[in-house]
Amino acid sequence: MYARVTLAQLQPGKINELIQFLRDNVVPAAQAQQGFKGLLLLTDDNTNKGIALALWETEAAMAAGEASDGYYTVQLARGAHFFAAPPVREAYQVSIQV
């Protein structure tokens, strides 16, 4: 299994709106992607930081969504107004899952 981690500095006061955007737009789009296994969103109201952790069955499935016209790029652009700075994307292999 693989994980895409997106680290973001969010606009102040936008966390609840971001959560609704993710539920209404990003989650359904992600669920339609082959190999998608789940999504976690971590937020901190005090620092306006967010971490999104998307789980993928294979590295190829994760990479497919990151293509220039892939779902990740499209959803990131649609939600750009939530970010105070460009988000940082990282990829990891999941070594332990319980």
pLDDT digits (tens, 9 = 90+) for 16-42: 999 999 999 999 989 999 999 999 999
Task: Dump strand ranges (E) for 1-98.
Answer: 2-9, 36-44, 49-56, 88-93
pLDDT, tens digit (0-9, with 9 covering 90-100), for 44-88 = 999 999 999 999 999 999 998 787 577 888 888 999 999 999 999
Q: State the pLDDT at residue 95.
A: 97
CB 30 within 8 A of CB 71: yes
- Which domains, and CATH codes, for the chain? 2-92 (3.30.70.100)
pTM over 0.85: yes
Pairing of strands 88-93, 2-9: antiparallel
